[in-house]
Amino acid sequence: MVYLRRFVDTELDELLPLAGAIALEGAKGVGKTGTALRRASTVLMLDDPAHRDLVAADPMMAGLEVGTVLIDEWQRVPEVWDAVRRGVDAGAPPGRFLLTGSATPTPGVDTHSGAGRILSVRMRPMSLPERGVTEPSVSLGELLEGRWVAPAGRTRWRAGDYFLAIESSGLPGLTSAPARLRRAQLDGYLERVIDRDLPEQGLAVRRPATLRRWLSAYAAASSTTTSYSKILDATTAGDGTQPAKTTTIAYRDHLSQLYLLDPVPGWSPSRSAISRLQQAPKHQIADPALAARLLGLDATALGSPRGAHMAGQLFESLATLTVRAAAQTAQARVGHLRTRNGDREVDLVVEADDGRVVGVEVKLATTVNDADVRHLLWLREKLPTEVVDLVVITTGDRAYRRRDGVAVVPLSLLGA
């Protein structure tokens, strides 16, 4: 299989020569191991009993050859984290340890945070540019720098292409698979989470069907701030029963530890120019394909009346995945803005470490009118020195800038 370079590769290129240990974290199947293997001289796969025994015999890994040591699925032997931390304290050279993990440690296992010693780098499913199916002409990094670039470029992508991209998944092993196989693999992925991964995290799932219903209700809330109580209400079975609130809190916490839930946090500016902000997260599942599969929707359904109610939400999920990957490369954070009474809302807010902000709206539409940008313009009015650009992501065929300064960018043309 040909390796497709990921945005996170740029981060690793910059950080490995500087840091003694880096933890590459994210949901199963996002490509952590494939990316890390390209940089390792020694590999320890901790899902292999022989490699676990090797680590148990030499926890400080002092006997390993010089170079980068990849410790894959480190959370299976949580003590490794502290061993790596001690190795860094003892003077491990830059690029010595590269850890990959698909979960935070099992609750109850005492490990040091690693703060200051082990850098954490998040890896998500492939965004559109990372899949090699688009040719971006607009850089989010340049927009964030405030260059006031004139967006340009044309694309042949239409709504149906984006729906197919949602269905196709951003998990490297699934993206190019035939549709029939991919559906089976997505189902298997979800079953593994319920039957194996959650028990390994310490959560015994007594009613798998109930958890599956809750996940489906969460998927239906994608790209919204729907309250968890309403998600719980939507989990009611055909016989009128529903899980206890404490049970669904456990679902949420453990699925977050597995990086399967990837909500966008509420954003607030560094100063109090905007008040009455709601801090509830905007719900997202790590891969939009998993959300679509939970809801029984494919590309054809999303383009029809049967799936039209979810088309915009899942398109925003796909756009969020791309914006997050690009923002991470630019060393920026992504949140969303919503006032408490809901009168103002900005789908995504990208903020650099120095406070520069790019406001982003996502529209499943080919055209943009004044009503579509009113919240963006309000944001610029409230934060005139922080907001360096405004963007509407669309399904249109070209990128351009409106007279009011708002950039209009088809999703397929947006890159890092």
Terminal Cα-to-Cα distance of the chain (whole angstroms): 24
Domain architecture of the chain: domains with CATH: 7-122 (3.40.50.300), 129-415 (no CATH)
Buried b (16+ CB within 10 A) or exposed e, 289-317: bbbbbbbebbbebbbeeebeebbbbbbbb
- Say how far apart CA 320 and CA 261 lie, in whole Å: 13
C-beta neighbour count of 139 within 10 angstroms: 18
In the predicted structure, residue 156 carries a pLDDT above the cut 80: yes
pLDDT score, position 18: 96
337, 264 in Cβ contact below 8 A? Answer: no
Find, among 131, 109, 231, 122, the residue nearest to 175 by Cα.
131
- Amino acid in the structure at residue 286: A
Is the pLDDT at 413 greater than 80? The verdict is yes
pLDDT tens-digit profile of 182-234? 999 999 999 999 999 999 889 989 899 999 999 999 999 999 999 999 999 99
Residue 361: strand pairing partners = 392
pLDDT at 332 over 80: yes
Count Cα neighbours of 322 within 13 Å in the Cβ-side half-sphere: 32
Asked whether the whole model's pTM tops 0.85, one would answer yes
Q: Look at residue 273 and tell me whether its pLDDT is greater than 80.
A: no
Coil, strand or helix at 139 = strand
Above 70 in pLDDT, residue 318?
A: yes
CB 67 within 8 A of CB 42: yes
CA 161 from chain centre, in angstroms, equals 21
Q: Residue 147: which pLDDT band, with cuts at 50, 70 and 90?
A: confident
98, 73 contact by CB (below 8 A) = no
Is 339 in a helix, a strand, or coil? strand
What does the pLDDT average to over 86-108? 85
Q: How confident is the model at residue 340 (pLDDT cuts 50, 70, 90)?
A: confident
Look over the chain and give the mean of its residue pLDDT values, rounded to a whole number. Answer: 92
Quickly state the pLDDT bin for 277 (edges 50, 70, 90).
confident
Angstrom distance (rounded) from CA 312 to CA 319: 10
Q: What is the pLDDT of residues 347-404, one digit of tens each?
A: 999 999 999 999 999 999 999 999 999 999 999 999 999 999 999 999 999 999 999 9
Q: In this model, does residue 29 exceed pLDDT 80?
A: yes
The answer, yes or no, to whether residue 110 has pLDDT greater than 50, is: no
Is-contact 355 347, C-beta < 8 A? no
